[in-house]
Amino acid sequence: MSQQLKNLRKELKLTQSEFGEKIGVTGAAISDIEKGRRKLIDRNISLICEKFHVNEEWLRYGTGDKYKFDDLPTDELATALATIEKEQYEKIKSLLITYSKLDTNNKKVVNDFLELILNEQKK
């Protein structure tokens, strides 16, 4: 499980402290888990699976798909994502991950900019 956790954290481009903060543990605890000195408790496994849409089987045993597909949106967002080419999908994924790591002030700047673009599109 330690390798899966490290793999996920690196894919999300989060430091141990940032990842730990998202599930309510310290960066040192994440370090210990990744090094196999500590085990993930069930509560943290559930939080990781919920927050990052991770398949519990993959997190625990390294088998199956990494991400859960049964909880993906089935509305117009899913339709839009299905029509995006892989290269653009990767850019959008990177953008969303980066956005999630912004502080409140920078998120407001991005939100204001997006609002401006969306209002222009409506004209």
Segment 104-115, tens digit of pLDDT = 899 999 999 999
Domain CATH code at residue 19? 1.10.260.40
Checking if the pLDDT of 79 tops 70, the result is: no
How many structural domains compose the chain? 2
Indicate whether 91 and 56 sit together in one domain. Answer: no
| Block residue for tokens 């899913």 | 78
pLDDT of 45 strictly over 90: yes
Domain for residue 113, yes or no?
A: yes
pLDDT digits (tens, 9 = 90+) for 60-78: 999 988 877 665 555 666 6
At residue 87, the pLDDT reads 76
Greater pLDDT, 95 or 89: 95
Examine residue 102 and state whether it is found in any structural domain, yes or no: yes
Q: Tell whether 31 is covered by a domain.
A: yes
Within-domain flag for 68: no
8 Å CB contact between 33 and 2: yes
Q: Is residue 66 part of a domain?
A: no
Q: Is 7 a domain residue?
A: yes
In angstroms, rounded to a whole number, what is the distance separating the alpha carbons of residues 102 and 13? Answer: 13
Q: Dihedral through CA 63, CA 67, CA 69, CA 75, nearest 10?
A: 180
| Residue 81 counted as domain residue | no
Q: Does 93 share its domain with 50?
A: no
93 in the same domain as 57: no
According to the model, what pLDDT value does residue 40 have? 92
For residue 89, pLDDT beyond 90: no
Rounded Cα distance, 28 and 34, in Å: 10
- Whether 37 maps to a domain, the answer reads yes
Judgement on whether residues 56 and 92 belong to the same structural domain of the protein: no
User: For position 26, what pLDDT does the model report?
Assistant: 96
pLDDT at 68: 78
**Domain encompassing residue 116:** 86-122
User: What pLDDT, on the 0 to 100 scale, is given for residue 19?
Assistant: 92
